[in-house]
Each structure stands twice: as structure tokens, then as C-alpha cells.
Structure 1
């Protein structure tokens, strides 16, 4: 069993998503002491943005790759290898301006590649994710509550987008724990955080 931790907050200290991801992983490892753990910290080491040269290299057939094109794709290849090697993925993601951090978007731009993580059937014009038999958990902090079936849910372009991308890659088992009302202070923030932690501790036992 191998767990891949993906952190996307730009903050190290006082990051709610980082703190709760760490709490969850610590509890989860108590039930899986044999599991290996790898950290991919996008907040501290953002992946490179894709460029026109990157796109051209990605579209170059394997037999025609050069040292230059291979170098352009090296980071993407490494990120994809991590995904294939892991069994569980935990993503800590704060909501930035109703969406995901830019460096998390850059990460998915690097790992969503036809022929590598996604198959494409030209006859039916359909895609098939290749990262199967994996589970993912999204832990998302935000200043308000954007829970499903609430009035603000339509403004959440963070978690639904992530869920779609993970499903597109073939990861169909995706759990989600919202950490709302962060930065508001007082009892409402404390209660929301405690509720999220309690949910994560329960999930760690069965996930």
C-alpha cells in the first residue's frame, strides 16, 4: 500500500488544509502501519506551466522523441509515475477565488495526457481513464460553506472540478471532506473544524 499526499496550499504555517491532511494521514497510518507515504508539495514546488514546446513534445511519437523533447516532458513523466505507483491519494486544497490554486491546475495539466493516463478511442471519440483501482480523498478548506445542496454550492468551482478530473483519470472512488468557515474565527470556525476532524478520524479507519 502506498499513499501519495498532494499539498497545494501556498502557506506552510497556519494552513488548515495542510494541518487536517496531516492529522488524517497520521490516523490512517495507525491502521496501515506497513503503508509507504510520499509527499508532493505543490505549494512549495509548483510544477512548470505547459508551453507550446511542451505540447509539441507531448504530441511527438515515442520513436521520434529526442533528448530535448524528453527533457521537456521529464517532470510530467515523474508526476505520472507517482500516480501509477500509489494506491491512495490525499489532496489538501484551499479554495482560492472559488477555484483550485493555479499550481494545482498546472499539476493536472501535466498529468492528464492521452496515451499515458487517459486512453482515447478514435472510433467512438471517447476517453477512458487509466488510473483505475485507486482511491482519492479531497480535504478542502474555505471561508464559507459550499456543501452540496446549499445555495452557495453553485459557486464551488474547486471540489466539483477536482472530482471530475479524478474521475476522468479513472479514479472513481473519491471521498470529500469540507472544512468550512475558516478565517471567520469564533465558535463557528471552531465547530466546523472539529466536525471536519471528527469526520476524517472516522474515515481513516475504513478508507
Structure 2
């Protein structure tokens, strides 16, 4: 069994989402002996954001510079990692109501027409990623954005991530959420609650 562990926070050891993804992966290792884990740190080794050269390559115009060639090849390899994984663990902190730009850059490489999705005869998208994969997202945010909170309409983090995953056929998604981390005396209880949720997965 294979697990793909993805972190995107820029906060290093101070990151709540990294703390939670590490615990999720540890929990999955305990559940699945011999689990093969691949790790991607998007803060340490970010993908380049899409450029005219990247778009040109999609339409049969290979880039001339070696840096862009290598970056495009890396993106293609990450699709292979996606297809091979049985479990995908994503650390997704909220930055300004959305996901980190480096995580968005990854999905810009994973959402590729003809590879991970296609449009059916009726014009609706069809995910091409094989079914049966489980996605666990460590969602962290400073405020309170869960349904029922006054600021819930500002959540473009979990909603966006859900849309991206569903688009390519990944629908078995579990969010382990720790929110209100910037509120006085709330961080420790929020993290403890999230860790309890991990133990029940």
C-alpha cells in the first residue's frame, strides 16, 4: 500500500498543519504495516507557477530552456505518484481565505485534460483518477470558518480543495480540522480535538 504525504505550509516546525499530517501518517503506518510513504514538501521544493511556456507545452510547443523542461517533467512524475497512491495526506493551511499558492501550483499540474479528467459528451467533467483512493486533509486556520460560523462564507480553502479533488475523481475525503488557532487559549484545545479525530480514522 502506498501513501503520498504532501505538506504546503511555509511555517516549518511552527506549522500546525505539518504537525497534524505527521500524526496522520503515523496513524496510517500503524494501521498498514509496510506502508510505502512518498513525501512532497511544497515549501522546500515548490513547483513553478504556470507560465506561457507551460501552457505552450500543453499544446505541443516544448520549452527551450532546461529549467522549464525539468519543471514540466517533475509535474508529469507527480501525476504518476498520484495514480500510484492508495492514501493521500494533504497539509492545507488557510492563507487569506484560500489554500497556499504552492498547493494551488501542485493542482495546476495534477488537473490535466486527458490524463486526470476529461469532458464527457454532455460537456460535464469526468475524473480519470482511479477510484478507491482515500484523501485525508489536515485543515488549519486562525479563525472560525466551519459551517454555522458567521465567517463560513469566507472559506475558499476547504471548498476549493474539495472541488479540485472531486474534479479528478477523488471523492473519499476526510477533513481533520483545527481552527480558531489564532484565538486566545484556543490553539491547544483545537489541536487536541484534531488529534482525537485522527485516532478515530
1:135 maps to: 134
CA RMSD in angstroms, aligned pairs only: 1.8
SS in 2 for 1:178: strand
Cα distance in 1 for partners of 2:5, 2:110 equals 15
2:46 maps to: 46
Runs of 4+ in 1 over 3 A off after TM superposition: 65-70
2:88 aligned with 1:93, yes or no?
no
Q: How does 1:1-207 map to 2 (within 5 A)?
A: 1-60=1-60, 68=64, 71=69, 73-121=72-120, 123-133=121-131, 134-186=133-185, 188-203=186-201
| Alignment gaps of 5+ in structure 1 | none
| Alignment gaps of 5+ in structure 2 | none
SS in 2 for 1:13: helix
SS in 2 for 1:33: coil
- TM-score, length of structure 2 as denominator length: 0.91
- On the 8 A contact 2:138/2:177 being kept in 1, the answer is yes
- On the 8 A contact 1:58/1:73 being kept in 2, the answer is no
Cα drift, residue 97 of structure 1:
0.6
| Aligned pairs, number | 197
Per-residue Cα deviation, 1:160-201 (whole angstroms, up to 9, x for no partner): 100110000100111111101213342x22111111110111
Cα distance in 1 for partners of 2:107, 2:7 equals 13
Cα drift, residue 107 of structure 1:
0.8
